[in-house]
Amino acid sequence: MESIVSTEDEKKDVNKKAHKTNITKLLKSYDLFKVKINVKFRFEKDTLVKKGSNIRAYLGLGRFSHSGKHGKQKDSEKESMQKIIHSTSNQQQPTINHFPKINKVPQINHNNVGTQEIQLQVQEMHQFINRLWHSLKLHRQNSSSSADNLLLIHSQLSALEASRDNTMHEAKFASRDVISVLQLYFKPLDDLLQDFTCYLWELTRNIFTLASNSHAKTVIKSLARIIWLEEEMDVQMNETRITKSYKNNFFSILNNTILERFELFLSKVKDAPLTLLDKLDFIYNDLNLVKDEIEPLFPSHYNIRLFFVQEYHDQVYIWLNDVMQTDLTLDAGTIFDLIRWVRQYYLKIVSDMNISQDLLEPELLDGREHELIDYLLSIMRNKFQEWKNNLIGSDIKEFVERPYELDANKVTGLSGTPVLLSMINQQIDLAIMSTHEKILADVVKECCTVMIDIQQTWMIVLESEVRLYIEEKGEPRLLEYIVALANDEYLCADHVDEKLKTKLEPLFKSKEYWDSVNVELCHVRDGFLDVVTNAISTASCIVFNDLKKPFREMHTSQWYKADPISVITVTIEDYLNHIKSCLNSHLFAMMIDTMIQKFVIAYIESMRNKNAKYRTPQCLDHMRKDIRVAENFFMQYIKHDEINRQFDPIHKLHNFLNTSREVVHIDYYALKTSYGDVSRKFLKNILSKRYDLITSRNINKITKSKELEYGKYTGEPTIFSMIKVNDEDASGEQLDRFKGEVQQLSNGFKDGFKDLYYKCKTKLHRPESYQFY
C-alpha cells in the first residue's frame, strides 16, 4: 500500500515538474523576444533601407508621393519621423538591457526550472506592457504633439504579438491547463493590443480634425504607415498570425464617420430637409480637405479620394431619394433649387476632384430630371395663369372703372404692370439659378406665353372701351388711362428688349436654345409695341374726334368768315399739354407724329367736304394761311424739315387746286409723280367745287387720259392711300368708322414705330426723313 502511495506521489511530482517545464519552454519565446525585438527592428530597418521603402522613404522619397501643397512641409515632417526611427532603436536598447538574463540566452535545464523563474518572466513582460500602455495613454492625451511614439508603440506591440503568437502556436498541442495559463499570462498584452487598435480607429474617426491641424498631420502619416504595415503582414501571413484586415476596417470606419456627419447635418433640418441644400457645402469642404491633406499621406493604391467621393455620393443619393419620396408637395422654387444643386454638384465634383461623372453611381434623382422639369413647368403654368388672371383682372377693373385721376405731373401707369414684371423676373431668375439651359428656355417661353395673353387681352379691352366712348359720347378720363396703358406696354417692351434679352443671351451656350428663345422674346416685344401703337393711335383719334366740327367747317362758307384752323390747333395744344408730362418721352414723340399725320389726313379729307366751295383766289389765300398756322404750331415739337416733309401733300394739293385747263396735265403729272396712289376721283371731286371750273369736261378727259397713261400704281403706299375719296367712303356706323380710323392709323405707324424704337431705345431720336406710312 505504501509503495502504491509512494508511486502516485511520484507521478504527481513528475506531472507538476512536466507542467512547469512546458510553461518554461513555451515562455522561452518571450525570452527570445527580448533579444529579438532589437534585432528584429534593426533587421526591418535595414531591409526597408535596402528596398527603398523605409520610414524615410514613406515620408516622401519612396512609396508615397506628396502633392505640391505638402512640399513645404516635407523637411519638417521628415525630421519628425526620423526622430521615430532613432527613438525606436534608442528606446529598445535600454529596455532590453533591463533583462540581463535574456542577453546571455542561457541554456536552461528544463527539468529544473522553478515556479519563481516563470513568475519573474511574466512579471517582467507585464511591466514592459505597462510601460507601453503608459505611452499609449500619453499619446491619447495629446495626439497632435506626440506622433513619434505611435510608430514606436506599434513596433514594440507587433514584436510582442509575434512572440505571443509563436508561443501559442507551440502550445497548440499542450494540455488545456497549459493553454489556459498562457492565455492568462498574455491577457494584458491582448488588452493592450485591443486598446491600441481602438485608439487607431478613434484617430480614424477624427481624421478630418487631424487633417485640419497642421501639427497633427504626422499622426495621420503614422496611422497610414501602421495600416500599411499590417496590410503587408496580412499578405505575408504565416501560420502563427491571425489576419487583422486593418485596411478593410479602416475604410469601414471612414464609411461610418461619413454617415455620422450626414446624420448630424440632417438632424438640424429635420422638419425642412430641403433647407439643407444651401448648407451642403461641407461636402465640398471635406472632399477638398481629403484631396489636399489626406490623400497624399496614403498609398496611391488606396484610392482615398475616390473612396471619399463615392461614399459622400452614396449619402447624397440616399438623402435626395428620401426627400423625393417623403415630400410630395414640392413647389417651383424648391424644384429649381433641387435641379440647380444637382447640376452644380456634378460640375464641382468632376472639376474639383478630377473624377469622371461615370464613377458617380447611382445617378442622382435616378434620372428623373426631365420628369421634374415637366412637373416644374406644369406648376409654373398654373401659377402664371393664376397670377395673370389676378393681375390683369385688377388692372382691367382699374382701367374700366377709372376710379381716380392719374397724376398729370409724372409718367403714369397701371398698378399691375410692375407686379407682372417682378413676377416674370423672379421665375426667370429661378430658372437661371438652375444652370439648366432647357429649363431656362422653357421658363422663358412660358413667360412669353403669359405676356402674349396679356397683350391680346388689352387689345380687346381697349376696343371695348372705345365702343363705350363712341356710344356714350365721351368717357371721363379715358384718354389718361389710355396714356397709362401705353406707358405700361412700352415699359414691358423695353424690359423684354433691354433687360431680358441682354441678361439671357450670355447664359445660353447652345445656339439652338438661344435662337429659339430670341425669336420668342422678339415676338413678345413686338406684341407690346403693337399695343402701344394701337393705344397712341386711339388717343389721337379721340383728340380728332373732338375736332370733327371745325374740320367740317373747313373750305365751306364758314371757313371764309371764321377761323377754324385756330380752333383746331388750340384744341390739339390743350390735349398735348395735358398728356405731355404723363406720357413717356418716346411715346410723346410718337404722339406728335400721329397728330401731324392725323391732321394732314383730316385736312385733305376736309377739302372734299359736302358744302366745300373754292372761290379763287380767296380759297388759295385761306389755304396758305391754314398751312402756315398749322406748320408754326407743330414746329414747337419737331424740326422744320420734317414739317415740310409731312405737309408736302397739302402743299401739292394747294398747287393743284390752282390749276387750269391749260396746265392741268402738268399739275396732275407733278402730283402723280410724288404720290402715285393719289385718287383721280378725289382730285375730280375737289376740282368740281371750284366755281370757275364747274363741269369742265376737258379737265376730266385730260386727267383720265393721264391716269391711263401712268397705269396702275404699284409702288409703296403714301398718305393718299389713307384718304377717303368721298363721303360715301366715310359713311357707315360711327363706331366702325372710328375703329377703321384707329386701325388705319395704327397700321400706318406700326412698322415705322418699331423701326424707330429699335434705333432709339434709350434716347429720343427722330430720323430727319422718316415716313410712318
What tens digit of pLDDT does each residue of 188-201 get?
999 999 999 999 99
Question: Is 279 within a domain?
Answer: yes
What was the pLDDT predicted at 226? 95
111 in Cβ contact with 21 (< 8 Å) = yes
* Domain final residue, candidates 322, 337, 367: 367
pLDDT at 58 over 60: no
Phi, psi (rounded to 5 degrees) for 614: -105, 110
Q: Which residues contact 663 (CB under 8 A, 6 or more apart)?
A: none
**How many helices, marked H, and strands, marked E, lie in the chain?**
29, 0
3-state DSSP assignment of residue 614 = strand
* DSSP type of residue 721: G
What was the pLDDT predicted at 328? 55
Give the whole-angstrom CA distance, residue 539 versus residue 480: 9
Based on its alpha-carbon atoms, the radius of gyration of the chain, rounded to whole angstroms, reads 50
Reference 575, options 536, 624, 601; nearest CA is 536
**Dihedral sign, CA of 589, 395, 405, 738?**
positive
- Does 322 lie in the same domain as 227? no
- Does 206 lie in the same domain as 58? yes
Give the whole-angstrom CA distance, residue 717 versus residue 748: 9
What are all long-range contacts of 494-499, with beta carbons under 8 Å and residues at least 24 apart? 494/761, 495/421, 495/424, 496/451, 496/521, 496/524, 496/525, 496/528, 497/521, 497/525, 497/761, 498/761, 498/762, 499/425
What was the pLDDT predicted at 698? 63
Question: Is 397 within a domain?
Answer: no
Give the whole-angstrom CA distance, residue 638 versus residue 387: 42
614 forms beta bridges with 690
Question: 744 vs 37, which has greater pLDDT?
Answer: 744
Give the confidence band of 469 by pLDDT, cuts at 50, 70, 90: confident
Please compute the mean of the pLDDT values over residues 605-634 and round it to a whole number: 93
- Does 161 lie in the same domain as 295? no
305 in Cβ contact with 291 (< 8 Å) = yes
Please compute the mean of the pLDDT values over residues 308-314 and round it to a whole number: 95
pLDDT at 586 over 90: no
Percent of the chain with pLDDT over 70: 75
pLDDT at 244 over 60: yes
Max distance between CA atoms of the chain, in angstroms, equals 183
User: Quick one: cell of 667?
Assistant: 399739275
pLDDT at 8 over 60: no
3-state DSSP assignment of residue 128 = helix
* Domain final residue, candidates 196, 223, 244: 244
Domain CATH number, residue 720: 1.10.357.70
Phi, psi (rounded to 5 degrees) for 354: 55, 50
588 in Cβ contact with 411 (< 8 Å) = no
Give the whole-angstrom CA distance, residue 330 versus residue 19: 77
Give the confidence band of 445 by pLDDT, cuts at 50, 70, 90: very high
What was the pLDDT predicted at 598? 92
pLDDT at 40 over 60: no
277 in Cβ contact with 286 (< 8 Å) = no
Give the confidence band of 401 by pLDDT, cuts at 50, 70, 90: confident
- Establish how many alpha carbons lie within 13 A of residue 608's alpha carbon, considering only the half-sphere containing its beta carbon: 22
Q: Which of 406-415, 597-606, 716-725 has the lowest mean pLDDT?
A: 406-415
Phi, psi (rounded to 5 degrees) for 235: -65, -40
3-state DSSP assignment of residue 663 = coil
What was the pLDDT predicted at 370? 81
Q: Which residues contact 747 (CB under 8 A, 6 or more apart)?
A: none
Q: How many domains does the chain contain in total?
A: 3
Range of the domain at 325: 254-367
H-only helix segments in 292-363:
304-326, 332-353
pLDDT at 93 over 80: no
- Does 177 lie in the same domain as 99? yes
- Does 567 lie in the same domain as 590? yes
- Does 89 lie in the same domain as 36? yes
H-only helix segments in 72-114:
74-97, 100-104
- Does 273 lie in the same domain as 187? no
Give the whole-angstrom CA distance, residue 191 versus residue 656: 124
Give the whole-angstrom CA distance, residue 619 versus residue 633: 21
3-state DSSP assignment of residue 194 = helix
Please compute the mean of the pLDDT values over residues 154-174 and round it to a whole number: 88
* Domain final residue, candidates 211, 244, 277: 244
Q: Which residues contact 418 (CB under 8 A, 6 or more apart)?
A: none
pLDDT tens, residue by residue, 694-752: 545 566 666 666 666 666 777 888 899 888 876 544 445 666 777 777 777 777 666 66
Question: Is 375 within a domain?
Answer: no
Angle at CA of residue 9, ends 6 and 15, nearest 5°:
140
- Does 123 lie in the same domain as 214? yes
Q: Which of 124-138, 160-174, 266-280, 675-689 has the lowest mean pLDDT?
A: 266-280
Give the whole-angstrom CA distance, residue 330 versus residue 327: 6
Give the whole-angstrom CA distance, residue 220 versus residue 345: 28
Phi, psi (rounded to 5 degrees) for 694: -65, 130
- Does 292 lie in the same domain as 222? no
Question: Is 476 within a domain?
Answer: no
Buried (b) or exposed (e) across 624-640, using 16+ Cβ within 10 A?
eebbeebbebbeebbee
**Dihedral sign, CA of 392, 393, 399, 403?**
negative
Q: How many CB atoms lie within 10 A of CB 180?
A: 11
105 in Cβ contact with 29 (< 8 Å) = no
Q: Which of 70-84, 150-164, 647-661, 692-706 has the lowest mean pLDDT?
A: 70-84
- Does 288 lie in the same domain as 231? no
- Does 143 lie in the same domain as 231? yes
What was the pLDDT predicted at 371? 82
pLDDT tens, residue by residue, 331-382: 777 787 888 888 889 989 999 999 999 999 999 988 787 888 888 888 888 8
pLDDT at 567 over 70: yes
Please compute the mean of the pLDDT values over residues 1-15 and round it to a whole number: 41
Reference 277, options 311, 320, 315; nearest CA is 320
Give the confidence band of 230 by pLDDT, cuts at 50, 70, 90: very high
pLDDT tens, residue by residue, 667-697: 888 888 889 888 888 888 888 888 776 545 5
Give the whole-angstrom CA distance, residue 63 versus residue 296: 11
Question: Is 632 within a domain?
Answer: yes
Reference 607, options 591, 618, 623; nearest CA is 623
Percent of the chain with pLDDT over 90: 35
Question: Is 93 within a domain?
Answer: yes
Please compute the mean of the pLDDT values over residues 100-129 and round it to a whole number: 60
Question: Is 708 within a domain?
Answer: yes
Give the whole-angstrom CA distance, residue 459 versus residue 484: 14
Reference 605, options 739, 443, 416, 737; nearest CA is 737
3-state DSSP assignment of residue 230 = helix
pLDDT at 772 over 50: no
Question: 97 vs 263, which has greater pLDDT?
Answer: 263
690 forms beta bridges with 614
Q: How many CB atoms lie within 10 A of CB 752?
A: 18
Sole residue written with cell 424740326: 639
Arithmetic mean of pLDDT over the chain: 78
3-state DSSP assignment of residue 690 = strand
Please compute the mean of the pLDDT values over residues 135-150 and round it to a whole number: 76
Question: Is 514 within a domain?
Answer: no
- Does 224 lie in the same domain as 265? no
Q: Which of 208-222, 283-297, 531-545, 590-604 has the lowest mean pLDDT?
A: 208-222
- Establish how many alpha carbons lie within 13 A of residue 122's alpha carbon, considering only the half-sphere containing its beta carbon: 16
At 35, which helix (H) or strand (E)? helix 2-51
Give the whole-angstrom CA distance, residue 81 versus residue 266: 40
pLDDT at 61 over 60: no
* DSSP type of residue 498: I
Sole residue written with cell 515562455: 27
Q: How many CB atoms lie within 10 A of CB 581?
A: 13
User: Quick one: cell of 724?
Assistant: 377717303
